[in-house]
Structure 1
Amino acid sequence: MKNTLKLRFALRGATLFFVSVVILGSFLYVTMSLFLQDSLKDSLRVTAQHLVSVLDVDNGILTPPDSLDEGSSSRAHPEGFTERLLDPTGRVLLQNGPLTAELPDPHVFRGPFFSQSTSGSWIAYTEGVTDAGRLLAILQVAQSTRSVSAVLDQLFWTILLSLVIFVPLSAITGYFMATGLLSPIDAMTRTAKRFSTENLAARLELPPSNDELGRLAGTFNSMLERIEQSFKNYREFVSNASHEFKTPLAILHTILNVTRARPRTLTEYAQALDDMSQAVLRLETLVNHLLTLAKIEGEPELNGTSVNLGELCLRIGETFRPLTQAQGLELVLSVEPGLEVLGDETLLSSMVVNLLHNAVKFTEKGKISLRVYRRESWAYVEVQDTGIGISSEDQSRIFERFFQGETSREGSGLGLAIVESLVKLHRGTIRVDSILGQGSIFTAGLPLRVA
Structure 2
Amino acid sequence: MTPFFWNPSSTESILWVDDSTKNFCSLKSILKQQGYRLTLANNDTEALTKIAESPPDLVILNTFISNINGCRITQQIKQNCDLPFIPVLLIANCDQSSLIRGLQASADEFLMKPVEQKELLARVRSLLRLKHSINQRYQLARQRCEDFMIKLTHDLRTPLTSTIQLLQMIQKGNFGHNFSEIRKHLQLLTESNQTLLSMVENVLEVYQYEAGCKDLEFFPVDLWELAQKVVQELKPLAVVKNVALNVKLNNTQPSAVKVRGDRIELYRLLTNLVGNAIRFTDQGSVDVYLSSQDQRVTITVKDTGIGISKIEQLCLFERFRQGKHQRQGNGLGLCLCRQIVEAHQGSISVSSTLGKGSIFTVSLPAL
Which category describes the TM-score, using the shorter chain as reference length? Answer: 0.5 to 0.7
Shift of 1:239: 0.5
Matches within 5 A, 1:20-99: none
Given the alignment of the two structures, is residue 381 of structure 1 paired with residue 247 of structure 2, yes or no?
no
Shift of 1:433: 0.6
- Change in CA separation of 1:260 and 1:320 when aligned onto 2, cut-off 3 Å: closer
Given the alignment of the two structures, is residue 318 of structure 1 paired with residue 228 of structure 2, yes or no?
yes
Equivalence for 2:17: 6
State how far apart, in whole Å, the 1-side matches of 2:136 and 2:165 are. 43
Equivalence for 1:71: none
* 1:299 alignment partner, SS class: coil
Query: Is 2:348–2:362's contact at 8 Å kept on the other side of the alignment?
Result: yes
State how far apart, in whole Å, the 2-side matches of 1:259 and 1:403 are. 35
State how far apart, in whole Å, the 2-side matches of 1:329 and 1:239 are. 34
Shift of 1:360: 3.4
State how far apart, in whole Å, the 2-side matches of 1:325 and 1:256 are. 28
Matches within 5 A, 1:124-143: none
Query: Is 2:148–2:330's contact at 8 Å kept on the other side of the alignment?
Result: no
Larger Rg: 1
Matches within 5 A, 1:35-434: 171-177=20-26, 179=28, 189-191=55-57, 211-261=122-172, 264-267=175-178, 268-299=181-212, 308=220, 311-323=221-233, 327=239, 328-334=244-250, 344-363=262-281, 364-374=283-293, 380-400=298-318, 401=320, 403-406=322-325, 408=327, 413-426=331-344, 428-434=346-352
Q: State TM-score, norm by structure 1.
A: 0.49
State how far apart, in whole Å, the 1-side matches of 2:147 and 2:118 are. 36
* 1:266 alignment partner, SS class: coil
* 1:236 alignment partner, SS class: helix
* 1:189 alignment partner, SS class: coil
* 1:443 alignment partner, SS class: strand
State how far apart, in whole Å, the 2-side matches of 1:343 and 1:212 are. 47
State how far apart, in whole Å, the 1-side matches of 2:296 and 2:235 are. 32
Tell me which amino acid in the other structure corresponds to 1:366.
Answer: S
Structure 1, unpaired ranges of 5+ = 11-170, 193-199, 201-206
Shift of 1:290: 1.2
Query: Is 1:360–1:368's contact at 8 Å kept on the other side of the alignment?
Result: no
Query: Is 1:433–1:441's contact at 8 Å kept on the other side of the alignment?
Result: yes
Q: State TM-score, norm by structure 2.
A: 0.58
Shift of 1:219: 1.2
After superposition, give the CA deviation of every residue in 1:10-57 in whole Å (9 maximum; x if it has no partner): 4xxxxxxxxxxxxxxxxxxxxxxxxxxxxxxxxxxxxxxxxxxxxxxx
State how far apart, in whole Å, the 2-side matches of 1:418 and 1:212 are. 40
Structure 2, unpaired ranges of 5+ = 1-14, 40-50, 59-83, 85-116
Query: Is 2:16–2:38's contact at 8 Å kept on the other side of the alignment?
Result: no
Shift of 1:341: 7.1
Tell me which amino acid in the other structure corresponds to 1:430.
Answer: I
Task: Provide the aligned length of Structure 1 versus Structure 2.
Answer: 268
- Change in CA separation of 1:366 and 1:242 when aligned onto 2, cut-off 3 Å: closer
State how far apart, in whole Å, the 1-side matches of 2:37 and 2:257 are. 53
Shift of 1:228: 0.5
After superposition, give the CA deviation of every residue in 1:282-322 in whole Å (9 maximum; x if it has no partner): 2111111111111111117x7767655xx442232120342
Shift of 1:394: 4.0
Which of 355, 362, 367 aligns to 1:444? It is 362
State how far apart, in whole Å, the 2-side matches of 1:445 and 1:273 are. 40
Shift of 1:407: 6.4
After superposition, give the CA deviation of every residue in 1:153-211 in whole Å (9 maximum; x if it has no partner): xxxxxxxxxxxxxxxxxx4322334656796897993359xxxxxxx9xxxxxx99772
Equivalence for 1:98: none
RMSD: 4.2
